Amino acid sequence: MKFRPIFIIVLLLLGLTTLLSSAFIVKETEQAIVTQFGKPVGKPITDPGIHFKLPWVQDIHFFDKRFLAWDGSPNQIPTRDKRFIWADTYARWRIVNALLFFQRVRDERGAQTRLDDILDGETRNAIANNDLVEIIRSTNRKMQQEVEDVTDDETPTNIKIGREKITRLIIEAASPRLRELGIELLDLRLKRINYVDEVQQKIFDRMITERKRIAEKYRSEGQGEAAKILGDKERDLNQIQSEAFKSAQEIKGKADAEATSVYAAAYNQNAESRDFYRFLKTMETYESTISEKDWLVLSTKGDFFQFLQKPSGK
């Protein structure tokens, strides 16, 4: 009688453990496969909620139902026109048949390995079968260039396939092979395309040379425009100075004429004024022409003595 409660507790714990080991929850973003001794049992479980399995002998394998990412490694690939480039791709995929997926690749790590093999191989084939310009461009849209005369003679003018169609071709070629693995390939894109290091340096040197030529062209055109502006400035300045000198001379001429008219009017006003004016002018002439070291001999009949002998007003 003493051991009956303990026995009941053990049975309860055993029943609870059995219940917990047989029940499992499938989330909205998951799907599950039940396996017994390593082999799948039944169909994949895609409905979210609580589900049950045989305890102790069956296991649960969960797989994601959401879109998954694949990021490829950059590969050195030659194009049809013998251009060696690095191509970096990425893709989006999802598990559409969990049972087939489990049987073929077991888990996402195995799927990533198969995706590397299939998608890298199809990408290599697509790039090798097309010219570089087809991989870079998608349409024949005219490129907006910084300088109109900068062109690439090696670039064809007619794009027959284009980058967008090439990625579609890769998807079409890889999708059947991935569908056999329970995988749906949703999209694939060329993330980055670049020249290999040896070719890249030559391209950079060519770009530098081209930009220097363009810069020199702009510089020479600027110098010519600057010379034209300076010439126009000198011409306008000379014209302004010439017109200003002409106006100044006209003003001076008018002023001299008015001064002469005033002098003439003052000179003809009366005899005394004329004599005094003559006297002042004579003194000014002596002062400006004779220095302190000069000797001047004057006749008593000269105008100077006449002014002294006949003072004004007598």
Please list the pLDDT of the chain residue by residue as tens digits (314 residues): 445 677 677 677 776 676 667 889 999 999 999 999 889 998 999 999 999 988 888 999 999 999 999 999 888 999 998 888 999 999 999 999 999 999 999 999 999 999 999 999 999 999 999 998 899 888 777 765 544 443 344 444 578 889 999 999 999 999 999 999 999 999 999 999 988 887 778 878 888 999 999 999 999 999 999 999 999 999 999 999 999 998 998 898 888 888 878 777 766 666 556 666 777 777 777 777 777 777 777 676 666 666 655 554 44
* CB 79 within 8 Å of CB 115: no
Mean pLDDT over each residue of the chain, to the nearest integer: 84
Identify the CA nearest to 130 among candidates 77, 74, 186.
77
pLDDT tens digits, 86-145: 999 999 999 999 999 999 999 999 999 999 999 999 999 999 999 988 998 887 777 655
**Torsion sign over Cα 263, 264, 265, 271:** positive
CA distance 40 to 267: 140
Dihedral over Cα of 16, 17, 18, 24: its sign:
positive
Domain boundaries, the chain: 22-63, 68-143+156-205
CATH topology assigned to domain 68-143+156-205:
Tetrahydropterin Synthase; Chain A (3.30.479)
Q: Report whether 305 contacts 299 (CB < 8 A).
A: yes
* Bridge partners (DSSP) listed for residue 45: 32
Amino acid found at 211? R
What residue has token string 């990021």?
71
